[in-house]
Structure 1
Amino acid sequence: MIVYPCQSLCGLNGLHLRILDCGHASSAREWVGNVVSPSYSRLYYICGGDPYFTTAEGRTVEMKAGCCYFLPAGFSFDHACRTQMEQLYFHIQLIDDTGLDLFRGCSEMMVDTPGEERIRRMIELAASKQPDDALRLRQELYATILTMLERSGVHLSRTDYARCILDAVAYIRKNLSVQLTVKQLADHAHVSESTLEKAFRAELGMTVGRYVDEEIFLAAERQLKQTKLSIAQISERFGFCDQFYFSRRFRARYGLSPQQYRKRYPF
């Protein structure tokens, strides 16, 4: 017997579609907001209504029923609807074995046309508690993403990040706190502070501090949406000096206090 090993085995085991949040939402004109350089990508499956978004460059895109829109990490936009909207949404990251998001390599929005019937079926799957339905829904997400990539001519690729970045990212995720300093991370990665900062700017397009902030507030979002921890407990968990400072930082980032954010996305 001759066995030819699967050359993509590492890639298969090293890729994970992380679903940070999802939901079936319907709204009137209160669906309005501003998203600035988000740390995750969004999939909007539109069921009905007249939602739209406006890019940072001023281009307005009407979101049509039966279509799905992919807005990548780092893509800033305003969103609203003229009268009402209904959608199935997902907040996602495609994490490789380095712990970094491959979707950060996408710079433009992408569109697919699954159709209203298929989207309604996905809503049914999302409401189910059965494991096989969860697998079917994940399969639909992969199909949507692959179709979009193929139509847009986008090819995802892994970046050979500097060793110091990989070491720093792993340390950040294990010790997530606003108390982390560049010096701590540089010492852990066995490089100078300036070398680490230059590597983050060159390869991730952001400072070390901004990367830490993005990871902290992404985790804080999940705590607010998915747990019953108090604001004080969440604040303490991420090393803020008090819940009031955490609330100020959160409001500056999302335009809502943690309490308001939690009410909008109830547990």
Structure 2
Amino acid sequence: MREVLEIIERMHRELRLRIPGSKLMLVCLFGRLVTLLCRAYESSSGNEAGDLGNIDRAVSYIHRNYAKRISRGELARLTGMSESSFYRLFLRLIGCTPMEYLVRTRFLYAGKMLLETSRDLSSIARSCGFSDSNYFGTRVRERYGETPHQYRTRMRRKAAT
């Protein structure tokens, strides 16, 4: 339990500081938190422990393979569940759909690359699982209200202060 509280405190600190790489650190800490909770829960009895284990497998798979094309069906097969059961369970336990979680994960890694590298947008888009740079640019504009270049410039200025 102490380790869970430490992770939550670190997540709170990352949210408060908002330094370069904070979003990626939050994703990593969240993954660690989910893993710890799943391990603790798996030692208990009942279906809920198995449910958490299934979702943990799916979340871990997303973080290892976010750059690849991943379908909801693929994630459901990985857990041994039907697509509809997997979808409902993921939504209930994680708070968003599996595909939204995948997109959020891709954005976190893309944001880190935009901030910390000089790679061109096409390269970043491909590395993070977006089909092309135009689609990536459209999604960045929808999500942040600015182009990827504007986002990169703003975040680098913010990191420098």
| TM-score, normalised with respect to structure 2 | 0.71
* Amino-acid identity (%): 28
Please tell me whether the aligned partners of residues 178 and 216 of structure 1 are also in contact (alpha carbons under 8 angstroms): no
Separation in 2 of the partners of 1:226 and 1:18? Answer: 21
Separation in 2 of the partners of 1:172 and 1:239? Answer: 11
Matches within 5 A, 1:138-157: none
Aligned partner of 1:184 among 74, 83, 94: 74
Deviation of the 1:247 alpha carbon: 0.5
In the alignment, structure 1 residue 260 sits paired with structure 2 residue 150: yes
Aligned partner of 1:43 among 16, 21, 24: 16
Separation in 2 of the partners of 1:241 and 1:226? Answer: 22
Please tell me whether the aligned partners of residues 67 and 126 of structure 2 are also in contact (alpha carbons under 8 angstroms): no
Deviation of the 1:229 alpha carbon: 1.3
Are the structure 2 counterparts of residues 259 and 178 from structure 1 closer, same or farther at C-alpha, using a change threshold of 3 Å? farther
Query: What one-letter code is carried by the residue in structure 2 that aligns with 1:259?
Result: H
- Correspondence for 1:235: 125
Separation in 2 of the partners of 1:178 and 1:223? Answer: 17
Tell me, what secondary structure is at the counterpart of 1:43? Answer: helix
Larger strand share, 1 or 2 = 1
Deviation of the 1:98 alpha carbon: 3.0
Please tell me whether the aligned partners of residues 178 and 213 of structure 1 are also in contact (alpha carbons under 8 angstroms): no
Matches within 5 A, 1:1-267: 8=2, 11=3, 15=7, 17=10, 42-43=15-16, 89-90=18-19, 91=22, 93=26, 94-95=29-30, 96-98=32-34, 162-177=52-67, 179-266=69-156
Separation in 2 of the partners of 1:226 and 1:99? Answer: 27
Separation in 1 of the partners of 2:35 and 2:154? Answer: 30
Q: CA RMSD in A?
A: 3.1
Aligned length: 137
Tell me, what secondary structure is at the counterpart of 1:248? Answer: helix
Separation in 1 of the partners of 2:146 and 2:69? Answer: 23
Are the structure 2 counterparts of residues 178 and 209 from structure 1 closer, same or farther at C-alpha, using a change threshold of 3 Å? farther
Tell me, what secondary structure is at the counterpart of 1:256? Answer: coil
Separation in 2 of the partners of 1:263 and 1:211? Answer: 26
Are the structure 2 counterparts of residues 213 and 193 from structure 1 closer, same or farther at C-alpha, using a change threshold of 3 Å? same
Unaligned residue ranges in structure 2 (runs of 5+): 37-47
Deviation of the 1:239 alpha carbon: 2.4
Tell me, what secondary structure is at the counterpart of 2:34? Answer: coil
| TM-score, normalised with respect to structure 1 | 0.45
Tell me, what secondary structure is at the counterpart of 2:69? Answer: coil
Separation in 2 of the partners of 1:165 and 1:186? Answer: 9
Are the structure 2 counterparts of residues 245 and 209 from structure 1 closer, same or farther at C-alpha, using a change threshold of 3 Å? same
Query: What one-letter code is carried by the residue in structure 1 that aligns with 2:60?
Result: A
Please tell me whether the aligned partners of residues 251 and 258 of structure 1 are also in contact (alpha carbons under 8 angstroms): yes
Query: What one-letter code is carried by the residue in structure 2 that aligns with 1:43?
Result: R
Deviation of the 1:251 alpha carbon: 0.7
Unaligned residue ranges in structure 1 (runs of 5+): 1-6, 20-40, 45-88, 101-158
Instruction: Render the CA deviation track for 1:198-240: whole Å, top value 9, x for unaligned.
Output: 1111112211111111111111111101111110100111222
Tell me, what secondary structure is at the counterpart of 2:16? Answer: strand
